[in-house]
Amino acid sequence: MARVLVVEDDANQRKLYEMELRRDGYEVDTAKNGREAIEKVKAGGYDVVVMDLKMPEMTGLDAITEIASIDKDLPIIINTAYGGWQDDFKSWAACAYVLKSSDLTELRRRIREAVTSRSEGSEG
Amino acid sequence: MEEPRKRILLIDDDAVMHGLVRAFLTRVGYEFAGATDGRQGLELARSYRPDLILLDYMMPEMDGIGVYDRLRTDPELSALRDVPVIMLTARNDDAGLRSNMLQRGVYAYLNKPFGLHELRNVIENAFIVSEINRRNLELQEEIRRARDFLRSVVDAAPVGIFVTDAAGKVVLSNRFLADLFGFPSAEELAGLDLIRESLPGAPRLTAIEAVLERGEPLASEQVSVHAPDGRRLLLNVRAVPQRDSAGRLQGSVGILEDVTSAEKRAVEMTMLTQIAHAMQGTLDLEELLHLILTCVTAGEALGFSRAMILMLSEDETELRGTMGVGPSSPEEAATIWQSLSREKMTLPEFLEKYGRRRPDPGDRFNNFVKTLHHPLSDERCVLARALREQRAFVVSERSRAEGMARCDWLSEKLASREFVCVPLVARGKGIGVVVADNLYTGHPLEAELVELLSLLSNQAGLAIERARAYAHLARQKEELETALGRLRQAQDRLLEAERLATIGQMAAQVAHEIRNPLVTIGGFARSMLEVPRDPEETRVILGIIADEARRLENILNNALDFARLSRPKRQWVDLNEILQLTVFLVQDELHKRQIRLEKHMDLHLPKLFLDPQQMRQVFLNLFYNALDSMPEGGQLTVSTCSVDERQVLVEISDTGQGISADILQNMFNPFFTTKPDGTGLGLPIAQQIVHAHGGRIVVDSELGRGTTFRIFLPIQGEADAKPTGTGSVAESAAG
């Protein structure tokens, strides 16, 4: 079972992603901010990270850079309500950039792709 | 010092007489010498040099008259010619003889025998008479010299001089006057009646008439006369009365000057002045060149048949025909002259009518001139020389034959036997040449005319330089204006970009703020639609949805965009200055929409402690609102004043369409807009900024009349200006 880490400062949204992704059959873990996310990634075992960008304490972009340095192969999907950072080179360490929507179809597709490519990569 | 003693010579055959006279004369202070016959006497006289001679009439061999005649006529005795002679005669000599002696110049005669005192008297008288004679002669010589001097002065005078009697008849005149009227000498004019007969070729001289008949103290007049050689002369006559010592009118004295050349010079100067004036009237180069050439060819001015200008090319390698003015055939010339002579215009009128235009495209001579060009490297070419040496040249058959001034290529093209070429000089540098000829009139190119053309060309060179400088300036001005226009556009774009950036930033912010709760609400709603939940789970989810909806409301209520406004960066500023600066930003727009701007600034406004950039944003927003409300033009009024010690007031009024009551109620709400492309944030932001500065903004509007915004801003010290409660809105957290 693939493990997903959702990094999101909004409690209600964390609940939403947790509920929906579990329903999809993922093992879902959450973090409230970048720092917490890094701690969890260090502990290891995730197949994909879903990362909000605008968070207190440590922004998503900084967290992405940090995570990439810990596990460069761990796919990170940026999931944000804010389109402004798409061109920030730090965001290029992520494998996808999803604009937050109440329709989670796009997010789901990206997670599926990431998980698939990761499992293929580890097999190959 | 004592006078040398006078010498007396006695010539007498009587020895007794010698003894007596010698004894007596030496006693009374004379020197004495004696001779006993005429020959010996003359011999002695030559060496003795007597001051007086006593001569006996009756002597043997040579009598007194014989001696006397020798004394007076012998060239060898010329030194003694004026020595007085006293003749000694016998008492019985006749009276005829005596008077004959006196007529011959004998000073006196004494009858023998005579008393010695009588002798002394006669001698002394003779010395006195001799002295008188001598002085007389001196005086006569002096008078003669003075008369000659006067005569030579009068004759040498470079003016005509005349003296008339009371009837106006010439008493005295001089050579100048005689020459002027073709008399062989001044004497020939004597007796000529200057009033009635007058001088040949001249009208009667009324100046003399005025002096003699009307008693005027000074009269002058100018008369035009035909000189014997056919020249027309302009003479200036001045006469004064001549009176004797008793004041009786004797006649007139006067002079007569030839002012022909002075008058001509004055006329030329007037003409050149008129031309210079006309040249100053145009700054268009083409028009100016045409004017110059019109002056060269105008009959009232220089009157050349044809004239052309060749300008130095920009690379200064050749002269290029630039413009020509003149008829292209004798027939055309005749037609032009006839029509011009009918018009009878003054030079300024003529130049106004014909000078200030450009040549017709079909002008044959002008088109011919434009085909001319010649390299400056042809050193023999007179045009190049004129330019280089900066002087005029006349090219004639003679000058060509003598190899003095040649320009064969141009002579050939012009088909002209004679032409003149003068340089156009500006600031010491040759810029072109004027070439002119008299092809159709055949008039000779006299030195005076060439000089006149040179003078005209000097002015023309300067005028051309001025027109060129003006054209250069005009080009620069145009470039500057274009640059300024581009700068204005760039400024407008920048301003617009700044506005859009602010708005865009806010919009992005709004989007972010709203999207988050929407994601939560929508996400849970979809999830519930897809999978039925138990009542407990449903309650939790609905709770979340309600939460997020409330959050959305909060976002709106907190006016998320302007809550993002940064804290004011305050400094002490001149509010008027900020307003002026902001007005400047919309000036072009006002102009474009034909909106008048009225400013009433209180110059004694205290300095305020506020954020100039934010205040500018406020005013700019209000100006744009005002502008948008006046699509058909109108008036924007901006005023400032102190309300009291605590606050100042800024009023921004328009004469636009006004705002209806329902819009007035909502206009400060975020996202409320009546404009198709509006953001609905302008006024809320303005209000937010004013509030953040501890001020307030109110609006007053009447439909169809206009709208007035009033902004009250506090006058406060730095200490009072610490952030207040209103400022804390800016601190609202982002999620």
Q: What is the pLDDT of residues B553-588, one digit of tens each?
A: 766 655 444 555 667 788 899 999 999 888 888 888
* B533 interface with A at CB cutoff 8 Å: no
Of A54, A82, A103, the CB nearest to B526: A103
Instruction: With a cut of 90, say whether residue B653 has pLDDT above it.
Output: yes
Nearest residue on chain A to B507, alpha-carbon basis: A82
Is residue B15 predicted with pLDDT exceeding 50?
Answer: yes
Based on DSSP, count helices (H) and strands (E) in chain B, helices before strands: 22, 23
- A76-80, strands of its sheet edge to edge: A27-31, A3-7, A48-51, A76-80, A96-99
Q: What is the pLDDT of residues B269-313, one digit of tens each?
A: 888 888 888 888 788 888 888 888 888 887 777 888 899 999 999
> A100 and B547 in contact by Cβ < 8 A?
no
Pairing relation of β-strands B306-312 and B706-714?
unpaired
Cβ of A9 and B519 within 8 Å? Answer: no
pLDDT for the residue numbered B354: 75
Q: Which of B562, B588, B620 is the last residue of a domain?
A: B562
Let me know if residue B285 belongs to a domain. no
Whole-number pLDDT of residue B584: 83
CA nearest B34: which of B20, B44, B46? B44
Residue B554 and residue B644 in one domain: no
Residue B1: pLDDT above 70? no
Q: Are B639 and B659 members of one domain? A: yes
Segment B710-716 mean pLDDT: 91
How confident is the model at residue B350, as a pLDDT?
78
CA atoms of B565 and B711, how far apart (whole Å): 19
**Quick check: is B232 in a domain?**
yes
Query: What are the residues whose beta carbons fall under 8 Å from the beta carbon of B432, sequence distance 6 or more?
Result: B309, B310, B311, B312, B319, B322, B387, B423, B424, B461, B464
Residue B547 resides in a domain: yes
Domain final position from B562, B593, B611:
B562
In-domain check, residue B333: no
- Chain B residues with CB under 8 Å of A15 CB are 544
How far is B262 from B609, CA to CA, in rounded Å?
79
**Which of A10, A17, A102, A106 to mutate to probe the B interface, most B CBs <10 Å?**
A102
Cβ atoms of residues B238 and B161 within 8 Å: no
In whole angstroms, what separates CA B184 from the centre of its chain? Answer: 47
Where residue B556 sits, what CATH number does that domain have? 1.10.287.130
How much of chain B exceeds pLDDT 90, in percent? Answer: 26
Task: Indicate whether B292 belongs to any domain.
Answer: no
Instruction: Determine how many CB atoms are found less than 10 A away from the CB of residue B386.
Output: 26
Query: With contact defined as beta carbons under 8 Å apart, do B207 and B254 qualify?
Result: yes
CB–CB of A102 and B516 under 8 A? no
* Cβ contact B690:B698 at 8 Å: no
pLDDT band at B83 (very low <50, low <70, confident <90, very high): very high
Partner A contacted by B477 (CB < 8 A): no
pLDDT tens per residue across span B103-139: 888 888 888 888 888 999 999 999 998 889 889 999 9
To the nearest whole angstrom, how far is the Cα of B691 from the nearest Cα of chain A? 29
Q: Are residues B719 and B584 in the same domain?
A: yes
B112 and B233 in a single domain? The answer is no
**Residue B582 sits in the same domain as residue B530:** no
CA distance A21 to chain B (A): 11
Pick the residue of B505, B509, B510, B512 with the most A CBs within 10 A to test the interface with A by mutation: B512
Chain B residues inside the 8 Å CB shell of A19: 527
Choose the mutation target among A9, A16, A54, A87 for the interface with B, i.e. most B CBs under 10 Å: A16
Q: Quick one: which of B385, B441, B391, B388 has its CA closest to B418?
A: B441
In order of their start, the domains of chain A are: 3-123 (3.40.50.2300)
Q: Do A102 and B526 touch (CB under 8 A)?
A: yes
Distance from CA of B527 to the nearest CA of A (A): 7
Count up the domains in chain B and report the number.
Answer: 4
Tokens of B13: 């055959």
Tell me the C-alpha distance between B520 and B721, whole Å: 41
pLDDT at B356 over 80: no
Query: Does B150 touch chain A if contact means CB atoms closer than 8 Å?
Result: no
Residues 6+ apart with CB under 8 A from B64: B11, B38, B55, B56, B57, B58, B87, B88, B89
d(CA A75, CA A73): 6
For B46, residues 6+ apart whose C-beta sits below 8 A from its C-beta are: B76, B77, B80
Nearest to A98 by CA among A38, A62, A34, A48: A48
- Closest to B461 in 3D by CA, of B436, B430, B435: B430
* Chain segment B466-496, per-residue pLDDT in tens: 888 888 898 999 999 888 888 888 777 776 6
Query: For chain B, what is the radius of gyration of the CA atoms?
Result: 59
**Which of B516, B521, B548 is closest, CB to CB, to A81?**
B516
Q: What is the CATH number of the domain that holds B711?
A: 3.30.565.10
Considering the domain architecture, whether residues B123 and B96 belong to the same structural domain is answered as yes
- Per-residue pLDDT, averaged over B321-333, amounts to 83
Q: What is the average pLDDT across B180-187?
A: 85
Q: CA B17 to CA B640: how far, in whole Å?
A: 142
CB within 8 Å: B516 and A15:
no
Say yes or no to pLDDT of B328 above 80: no
Q: Looking at the structure, tell me whether residues B250 and B115 fall in a common domain.
A: no
Distance (Å, whole) CA B42 – CA B554: 165
The predicted-structure confidence for B514-539, as pLDDT tens digits, reads as follows: 888 889 999 999 988 888 888 898 99
B313: exposed, middle or buried (Cβ count in 10 Å: 0-12, 13-18, 19+): middle
ipTM of the modeled complex: 0.83
How is residue B7 annotated by DSSP? E
Helical spans, DSSP H, in B114-163? 116-156
For B503-516, what is each residue's pLDDT tens digit?
Answer: 666 666 667 778 88
Q: SS3 for B16? A: helix
Q: Of all helices (H) and strands (E), which one includes residue A116? A: helix A105-123
Backbone φ, ψ for residue B678 (5° rounding):
-80, 155
- Do residues B579 and B689 both lie within one domain? yes
Q: Which residue has the tokens 């109110």?
A: B698
In the three-class reduction of DSSP (H, G, I as helix; E, B as strand; rest coil), residue A50 is classed as strand
Q: Which residues contact B414 (CB under 8 A, 6 or more apart)?
A: B306, B435, B437, B439
A13 close to B (CB below 8 A):
yes
Please return the burial class of B79, using the count of CB atoms within 10 Å of its CB with bins 0-12, 13-18 and 19+: exposed
pLDDT for residue B675: 63
Give the pLDDT confidence score for residue B723 in this predicted structure.
Answer: 43
φ/ψ of residue B45, rounded to 5: -55, -40
Does position B231 have pLDDT exceeding 90, yes or no? no
* Whole-angstrom distance, CA of residue B71 vs CA of residue B83: 9
- Where a domain ends, among B207, B227, B258? B258
Does A14 touch chain B if contact means CB atoms closer than 8 Å?
no
User: Is residue B478 assigned to a domain?
Assistant: no
Q: Give yes or no for residue B186 having a pLDDT over 50.
A: yes
- Is B555 in the same domain as B574? no
| pLDDT over 70 percentage in chain B | 90
Query: Among A9, A82, A104, whose Cβ lies nearest the Cβ of B523?
Result: A104
Q: Is A20 in Cβ contact with B523 (below 8 Å)?
A: yes
Instruction: Identify whether residues B545 and B590 lie together within a single domain.
Output: no
Strand ranges (E), B405-559:
419-426, 429-437
Helix, strand, coil percent values for chain B (each to nearest 5):
50, 20, 30
Residues 24-53 of A with CB under 8 A from B: none
Residues 121-140 of B with CB under 8 A from A: none
Quote the pLDDT of residue B728. Answer: 34
What is the Cα–Cα distance from B628 to B707, expressed in whole angstroms? 12
> Does some domain include residue B499?
yes
Find the mean pLDDT for residues B181-195.
Answer: 85
**Pair B102, B168 in one domain:** no
Under 8 Å between Cβ of B324 and B306: yes
Residue with tokens 């509007």: B701
Distance of CA A52 to the CA centre of its chain: 7
**Is residue B166 domain-resident?**
yes
Q: What digits encode the pLDDT tens for the residues B661-681?
A: 878 877 776 666 666 545 566
Report yes or no: B525 at the A interface, CB cutoff 8 Å: yes
Domain around B234:
157-258
Q: Are residues B528 and B493 in the same domain?
A: yes
Query: Taking residues B455-462, what's their average pLDDT?
Result: 88
What pLDDT is attached to residue B566?
Answer: 65
Q: What is the CATH number of the domain that holds B90?
A: 3.40.50.2300
Assess whether the previous peptide bond of B84 is cis (omega < 30° from 0): no
Average pLDDT, chain B: 84
pLDDT score at A60: 85
